[in-house]
Amino acid sequence: MENTQITHPDAPRPSRRASDRFASELLVEIGGAMGLTKNVSATGIYLETTVDQVPGSRVHFEVEVVVKGERLKMLCAGEVMRVEHKPGMVGIAIKLTSSFFTDTDHAEDPAEPVDD
């Protein structure tokens, strides 16, 4: 099976990166499935999972990180910019619209309004 790529019409071109990307493999949960991040930046994330997405759709997902020995969840919302179909998995490029850290015992939905 060959790789196929579907790109959102507003997806930035690879040479026009808004911020530096850092290679990373962090556990991620999206659409009820687990996956791994492949790179992360301040404005976006690329991950691989088994759940297909549609360019232009809005998604919510959780990334697990360890900071100073404490396991935290980064709760994220974003827009799917690109989908790459690969053998046995789907690569998804997401432009972040919101993200914040919480401890794993007090996770909240990033789509919910935040009380000030």
Q: Where are the domains of the chain?
A: 4-9+19-103
The residues near 7 (Cβ < 8 Å, ≥ 6 apart) are 55, 81, 82, 83
| pLDDT(9) > 80 | no
| pLDDT(38) > 50 | yes
The residues near 16 (Cβ < 8 Å, ≥ 6 apart) are none
pTM of the model: 0.73
Overall fold of domain 4-9+19-103: Thrombin, subunit H (2.40.10)
| pLDDT(101) > 90 | no
Instruction: For the chain, report the end-to-end CA distance as a whole number of angstroms.
Output: 50
The residues near 36 (Cβ < 8 Å, ≥ 6 apart) are 25, 26, 27, 28, 47, 48, 49
Q: 27-30 and 4-7 as β-strands: parallel, antiparallel, unpaired?
A: unpaired
Average pLDDT of every residue of the chain: 82
Average pLDDT value for residue range 11-23: 63
Average pLDDT value for residue range 76-105: 91
Q: Residues 51-82: pLDDT tens digits? A: 999 999 999 999 998 888 888 999 999 999 99
Comparing C-alpha atoms, which of 57, 53, 56, 54 is closest to residue 11? 56
At position 36, the amino acid (one-letter code) is L
Of residues 45 and 102, which shows the higher confidence score? 45
